[in-house]
């Protein structure tokens, strides 16, 4: 159940809906050790570090529905489920992140960037989530043909990840 962008120029990893497993990645690549995605690259999902936090049964059911829809290749239905979950929990940064990933996979790069920024705004002190969002922004900016913007986004992600390592929080 991973998000896949059509086009077969290359293979890069990208996080996906919580609780899913990654597809096979060429030579064990990860976003931290490989160059950023290029337009036309296939973006393959990797699991996010923790599940979406919610105690709302409706949100949990909608997330389960989104995972099933993604597994069946029904991206529009998955997006609708995530949007419904966001109407219930509009301040849940993980839901915004999940929807941003889906929009990235659908080639809706500007929307993916906007949704990632929304997630960052609600992430509070969750630096790992902020870093994931900045990596997503970097991939979207590469796809938009903005390598300078992508480089800035990847640097922010790296800085956040390094601050986690320094504190021993990773």
Instruction: Count the neighbouring beta carbons within 10 Å of the beta carbon of residue 68.
Output: 14
CA distance readout (Å), 49 to 19, 64, 170: 9, 17, 10
- Residue 152 pairs with which residues in a beta bridge? none
Beta carbons within 10 angstroms of residue 16's beta carbon = 26
Residue-range domains of the chain with CATH = 11-167 (1.25.40.10)
- Looking at residue 45, its pLDDT comes to 43
Q: How far apart are CA 147 and CA 39, in angstroms?
A: 11
What pLDDT, on the 0 to 100 scale, is given for residue 133?
A: 98
In a structure prediction context, what are the per-residue pLDDT tens digits for the chain, which is 170 residues long? 333 333 333 334 444 444 333 332 333 333 343 444 555 554 444 444 456 778 899 999 999 999 999 999 999 999 999 999 999 999 999 999 999 999 999 999 999 999 999 999 999 999 999 999 999 999 999 999 999 999 999 999 999 999 988 765 54
What phi, psi does 66 have (nearest 5°)? -60, -40
Model pTM score = 0.71
pLDDT score, position 85: 97
pLDDT for res 39: 53
Q: Is the sign of the CA dihedral 55, 90, 70, 34 positive or negative?
A: negative
Q: Give, in degrees to the nearest 5, the angle at Cα 101 between 2 and 78.
A: 65
- Predicted pLDDT at 154: 98
């Amino acid at each position: 159940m991973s998000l896949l962008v059509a086009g077969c120029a290359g293979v890069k990893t990208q996080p996906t809906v919580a609780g899913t497993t990654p597809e096979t990645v060429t030579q064990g690549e990860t976003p931290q050790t490989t160059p950023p995605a290029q337009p036309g690259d296939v973006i393959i999902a990797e699991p996010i570090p923790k599940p979406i936090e919610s105690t709302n049964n409706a949100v949990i059911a909608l997330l389960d529905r989104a995972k099933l829809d993604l597994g069946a290749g029904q991206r529009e239905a998955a997006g609708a489920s995530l949007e419904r979950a966001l109407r219930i929990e509009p301040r849940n940064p993980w839901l915004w992140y999940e929807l941003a990933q889906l929009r990235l996979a659908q080639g809706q790069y500007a929307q993916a960037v906007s949704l990632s920024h929304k997630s960052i705004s609600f992430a509070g002190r969750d630096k790992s989530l902020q870093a994931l969002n900045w990596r997503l922004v970097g991939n979207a900016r590469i796809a938009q043909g903005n390598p300078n913007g992508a480089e800035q986004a990847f640097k922010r992600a790296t800085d956040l990840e390094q601050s986690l390592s320094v504190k021993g929080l990773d």
